Amino acid sequence: MQTSSHPPQPDAAPPLASCGHMWVFAYGSLIWRPGFDHAGSHPALLRGFHRRFCLWSRHYRGTPEAPGLVLGLDRGGACRGVAFRVPGAAAAAVLRYLDDRELPDGAEVVYHRRVLPVRLVDGAGGLTVPAVTYVANRGCTLYVPALAPEEAAATIARGVGQMGRNRDYLLNTLNHLKAMGVRDAGLARIAALLPED
């Protein structure tokens, strides 16, 4: 299965699986606010990357004066999330939407779009599918190599941006993971350190 770390090509054909659909792996806000129509979704496991608050947010969940933090997929470990199945006929439009959302024109590239193998972990029999995945760009100036949970919690507690409060982003993600039966110990520790609302 091919993977790509090159910048996306706007006119490139969407990466369809052998079933004729495109798969999209969600690990953060895409889980609870995908923003695109899909034909189905499955709990899924991605190996080789883990979910982490590793990117400063100076617009969506913070400001330049008081940046917030957003999730990215960083190298190592594994990540439980959701794989959305997008019909082939809608794949090009969905890919454009996702690139606009995750790779906004003119802004610093904080994510690389890649196609990575994810395993469906529900009744799909452990099927592995190639999924469009947005991975943190470690080379961008917004990348946060390491942050203590206490510092992450303090940053998230004060972050408010165009998309609302940073703490809501964290808690929504945690609540939806919990509903899936997934416990993310790193996120739960940060949430436990948030001051009372």
Catalytic positions, written as ranges? 102
Give yes or no for a contact between 133 and 95, defined as CB atoms under 8 angstroms apart: no
Q: How far apart are the first and last CA of the chain?
A: 46
Q: Locate all alpha helices (DSSP H) within the chain, ordered by sequence.
A: 29-32, 88-102, 149-158, 166-179, 185-192
Pairing of strands 160-161, 111-120: unpaired
* Amino acid identity at 108: E
Are 43 and 121 a contacting pair, CB within 8 Å?
A: yes
